[in-house]
Structure 1
Amino acid sequence: MTPRFLPAALACGVLFAAAAASAQSAPDGKQISIQGANGAPACITCHGARGEGNPAAGFPQLAGIGAKYLDEQLEAMANGSRVSPIMAATARALDPAQRAAVASYYAGLPSPLDTDRLAATAMALAKPADTGAWLATRGAWDKNVPACNQCHGPGGIGVGANFPSLAGQPAAYIASQLRAWQQGQRPPGPLALMPAVATRLTDAEIDAVSAYYAGLPKAADLLAAQANPATGAK
C-alpha cells in the first residue's frame, strides 16, 4: 500500500472500530428481557417468554405495544409519576438506554392479537344492559365519557404511539390502571383524557369495561365462527 492511501485506510479503521464499540456497548433489549440487568429481574418472569403477559397474575401483554409508549411508561415508573410497587424498582434499575432497548424489543415482537377479528366486534350491536360493551363501543355521553374504541381503536386493537391495545389485557390490570388515574397515580397522557374519563366511571363500570376487553379475543373468535362456521374456528 502506498503512503498516499494510508490516511484513508486509517480513517476507515477508526470508523469501523467506533462502530464496533458502539454496537458492543448498545444495550440488548432481548437479553435484558431474558436475563435482567443491574439487579433487575428478567422481564419474562412476569410478562412471558413472548411478551404475552400473564392474565391469571394480572401482568399485561407487552408484545406489539408501541416502543414510544412502553419507554414512556418505564420512565414514569422509574421517576415515580406512575405508581407501581411491582415495577418501580425494576424501572429504576435500568438506565434510559436499557429502558429504550427493552421497549424496542417488545414493540418488535408479534402481537398475539387477531386484529381483523377484533375490529369486527365493533360492528356488533351492544345493549345498554351490557355495560362493558356499551362503554367500549358507545361511551356514556350523559357524563361526557367517549367510547373507549374512539381512541383505542375498533376492538381495542390500539392506535398509534399513544393509545395501546386493550383487547386481551387482564381485567385486573385494566381496572387497576383506571383506578390509578382516578387517584392521580399515573401521568395524565395525551390531552389529559384518561383521568377525566376514569373519574367519571363508577367502580361497577370500571369492572365491566375491564372484563369486556379482557374477554374480547375469545368473543372475537366466537363471532368469527358464527359468521363463517367453516373457517371461524381456525
Structure 2
Amino acid sequence: MPAILISLRWLTVLPLLLGLPWAAVQALDAATIAAQGNGRGAAPCVTCHGVDGVGQAAMSSPRLAGLNAAYLLKQLDDFASGARDNPIMTPLATALGTDERQALAEYYSQLPLPEALRASNNITQASIDSVGAILATRGRWSDSIPACEQCHGPRGIGVGAHFPPLAGQPSSYLASQLRAWKEGQRRNDPLGLMGHIAEKLSDSDIDAVANWFAFVTRPIGDKEETP
C-alpha cells in the first residue's frame, strides 16, 4: 500500500486511539479532504475556495468560511443529487460520501472570517445612495422587488439555513448566481423566491447589487443571525 494512503488512514485512526471525541475526528477528516481531496474523485476544496475558505473572485468561487452548516450541507447535497448543477461542483459532491459532506459543512462553518471581512468603516453616503445599496436595503417596490436585507438580514449578514450571508462574497460569484436564477439555471432556493426576484432585475441591477454586497462588510463581532 502506498505510504500516502497509510498516512491518511492513520490520520483517521490515530485520534480514536488517543481517545479524542468523534467530532474531532470528523474535523480532522474534513480538514484532510479540504486540503488533499478524498482520493476517490473529490479534488481539494482549497483549489477553488482558498486555504482559509474565503473564495477566489477571479474564479467566481464563493466564500465558505463562517457560512451556516445546514446551508452548506444542503448545497453539497443538492450538487450531489442534481438539484443544483455546476460543472465543477456536481462531480466533486457526487464523489463525496454523506458523512464527508456533513463533515465538510461543519468544518467550513467553523472557520473564522478574515479580518478584512469584519471591518465596518467602508460605508459612505455615496455608496448608500447607489443603485446596489438601494436594492439591497430598500428594494424597488415599483417592480415588486423586496430589499435583499429582508431575507438575508441587515447588511447581508445571513439568516439561518435558507438565506446565506451575502456580505463579502465575491461580486463575480453573486452576479453569476443571480443570472443563473434569472435564466432558470438554478432552482434550489425555498419556494422559488430567488427566481421570481432575479427575473425582474436588469443586468445593470445585478452587477450593482453584487458589487454592493462584495463591498459592504459587517461590524466586528456580528455573527450570522438565526431565525
TM-score (norm 1): 0.75
| 2:31 corresponds to | 30
Separation in 2 of the partners of 1:95 and 1:204?
Answer: 40
How much identity, in percent, do the aligned residues show? 48
**Helix, strand or coil: the match of 1:50?**
coil
Q: Can you give the 5+ residue segments of structure 1 that lack an aligned partner in the other structure?
A: 1-15, 225-234
| 1:107 corresponds to | 109
Q: In the alignment, residue 34 of structure 1 is paired with which amino acid?
A: A
**What are the equivalent positions in structure 2 for 1:83-232 lying under 5 Å apart?**
83-112=85-114, 113-114=117-118, 117=120, 126-127=128-129, 130-217=130-217
* Alignment CA distance shift 1:51-1:26 (3 Å): closer
* 1:188 Cα deviation after fit: 4.0
* Alignment CA distance shift 1:86-1:142 (3 Å): same
Q: In the alignment, residue 49 of structure 2 is paired with which amino acid?
A: H
* Alignment CA distance shift 1:209-1:152 (3 Å): same
Q: In the alignment, residue 30 of structure 2 is paired with which amino acid?
A: G
**Helix, strand or coil: the match of 2:216?**
helix
Match of 1:66 among 60, 65, 68: 68
* 1:26 Cα deviation after fit: 5.4
Q: Can you give the 5+ residue segments of structure 2 that lack an aligned partner in the other structure?
A: 1-15, 221-227
* 1:152 Cα deviation after fit: 1.1
Separation in 2 of the partners of 1:208 and 1:186?
Answer: 20
* Alignment CA distance shift 1:125-1:176 (3 Å): closer
Alignment length, in residue pairs?
199
RMSD: 3.0
